[in-house]
């Protein structure tokens, strides 16, 4: 009986931590799933937008070709606005006529030769004509589209001499002066992670490693994955890098 009990001891000890209620210790090299996986990120422009037509008109010029660079305030699209110009001239002529009528009625009013109602109607006609001139000027201002920031034309969706409708997309433009990266990191990194901290990214398309730094840290932790979104920026100018390239992020923990 005693021999049987003693014989069973090695078997129980061999099971060790697998026994019910036992505390299982993690291997020294174990890491959260997010840290065990390769963290990848894509290069993104600082700013990007789609330029759309605000009026219906024919395109006269597209000075910047697809892939070309432009400066802030540079002309991107020019429309044929001969009709809008004619409408402005018509509105201006009507304003001149109503202004003359008002001036004449004001002189007659001084002589008590015109009623107050007619004088008020003359003033109303002048104000209406001024509004028409202002509307024509505003419409004419939309005949030229200028760059809201410096950057490059990513895609040209229309061609010269093409008629476009209001709201139709014409150009995709982006600001590639600074290329950014967005990716997830473990939320426990928040104890040491700060904006300005340096890291590196290895870009697949070039096969090179580039310096980068953290510029933004997300405002919310994902409780499911225990991760947080961060943003970084390439630290320096590298002409071979363009938006859309991707690579592997290399963060060295302190």
The per-residue pLDDT for 7 is 42
CA dihedral 175, 176, 177, 182 (to 10 degrees): 100
The per-residue pLDDT for 38 is 66
List the beta bridge partners of residue 138: none
The per-residue pLDDT for 52 is 96
The per-residue pLDDT for 243 is 92
The per-residue pLDDT for 62 is 96
The per-residue pLDDT for 220 is 95
Structure tokens at 59: 């395109």
- What is the per-residue pLDDT across 162-185, written as a single tens digit (0 to 9) for each? 999 999 999 999 999 999 999 999
Structure tokens at 164: 């476009």
The per-residue pLDDT for 26 is 43
The per-residue pLDDT for 150 is 95
- What is the per-residue pLDDT across 59-102, written as a single tens digit (0 to 9) for each? 999 999 999 999 999 999 999 999 989 999 999 999 999 999 98
Which residues of the chain are under the pLDDT cut of 70? 1-38
The per-residue pLDDT for 254 is 76
Distance separating alpha carbons of residues 229 and 216, to the nearest angstrom: 9
Q: DSSP letter string over 193-246?
A: --TT-EEEEEETTT--EEEEEEEEEEEEEETTTTEEEEEEEESS--TT--TT-E
Distance separating alpha carbons of residues 88 and 98, to the nearest angstrom: 15
Query: Which structural domains are found in the chain, ordered by start?
Result: 82-141 (1.10.287.470)
């Amino acid at each position: 009986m005693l021999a049987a009990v003693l014989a069973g001891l090695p078997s129980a000890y061999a099971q060790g931590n697998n026994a019910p209620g036992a505390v299982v210790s993690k291997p020294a090299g174990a890491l959260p799933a997010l840290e065990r996986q390769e963290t990848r990120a894509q290069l993104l422009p600082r700013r990007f937008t789609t330029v759309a037509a605000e009026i219906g008109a024919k395109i006269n010029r597209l000075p910047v070709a697809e892939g070309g660079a432009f400066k802030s305030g540079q002309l991107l699209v020019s429309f044929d606005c001969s009709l809008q110009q004619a409408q402005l001239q018509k509105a201006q002529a009507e304003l001149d006529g109503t202004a003359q009528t008002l001036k004449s009625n004001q002189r007659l009013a001084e002589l008590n030769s015109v009623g107050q109602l007619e004088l008020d109607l003359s003033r109303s006609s002048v104000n209406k004509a001024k509004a028409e001139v202002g509307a024509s000027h505003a419409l004419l201002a939309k005949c030229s589209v200028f760059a809201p920031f410096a950057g490059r034309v990513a895609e040209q969706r229309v061609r010269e001499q093409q008629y476009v409708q209001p709201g139709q997309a014409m150009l995709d433009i982006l600001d590639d002066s600074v290329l950014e990266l967005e990716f997830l990191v473990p939320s426990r990194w928040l104890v040491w992670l700060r904006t300005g901290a340096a890291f590196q990214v290895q870009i697949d398309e070039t096969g090179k490693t580039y310096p980068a730094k953290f510029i933004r840290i997300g405002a919310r932790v994902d409780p499911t994955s225990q991760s947080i979104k961060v943003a970084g920026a390439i630290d320096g100018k590298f002409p071979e890098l363009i938006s859309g390239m991707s690579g592997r992020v290399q963060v060295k923990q302190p």
